[in-house]
């Protein structure tokens, strides 16, 4: 079945460092791809998404490009801030019965040092 694999954490960086969190997927068909973020004490929220090959999703300085040839959707940010400390989940959507469901990766905890 479909699945998402993302790099294990925790990841600890200094403020203003470059961030990459790797995500690869296995899927049949043409899923949409997502990054969700969970800030401490809060529910998950959508960070960005891409719906077809070569699309780039972006939000809050984060970017990810839907790479069908490498089945990847890596999250990047050029200069991280302390406020980016959170858990990041890569996810894909698949058709399931009369709706669609989203399959999540295991999450990557990111900590940014001032």
Partner 1 sequence: DVKVTQSSRYLVKRTGEKVFLECVQDMDHENMFWYRQDPGLGLRLIYFSYDVKMKEKGDIPEGYSVSREKKERFSLILESASTNQTSMYLCASSLTGRLNEKLFFGSGTQLSVL
Residues that bind partner 1 (CB under 8 A): 31-32, 34, 36, 41-46, 49, 51, 89, 93-107
| 8 A C-beta contact, residue 62 and residue 47 | yes
Least separation in angstroms between residue 27's CB and partner 1 is: 11
Cis amide bond preceding 10, omega within 30: yes
Least separation in angstroms between residue 89's CB and partner 1 is: 6
> Closer to partner 1 at the Cβ: 41 or 114?
41
| 8 A C-beta contact, residue 90 and residue 73 | yes
> Closer to partner 1 at the Cβ: 11 or 44?
44
Do strands 11-14 and 56-59 pair parallel, antiparallel, or not at all (unpaired)?
A: unpaired
């Amino acid at each position: 079945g479909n699945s998402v694999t993302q790099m294990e954490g925790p990841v600890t960086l200094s403020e203003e460092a470059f961030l990459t969190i790797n995500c690869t997927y296995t899927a049949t068909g043409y899923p949409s791809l997502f990054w969700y973020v969970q800030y401490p004490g809060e529910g998950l929220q959508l960070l960005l998404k891409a719906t077809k090959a070569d699309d780039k999703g972006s939000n809050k300085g984060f970017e990810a490009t839907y790479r069908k040839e490498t089945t990847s959707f890596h999250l990047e940010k050029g200069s991280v801030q302390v406020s980016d400390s959170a858990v990041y989940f890569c996810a894909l959507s698949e058709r399931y019965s009369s709706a669609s469901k989203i399959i999540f990766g295991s999450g990557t905890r990111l900590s940014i040092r001032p």
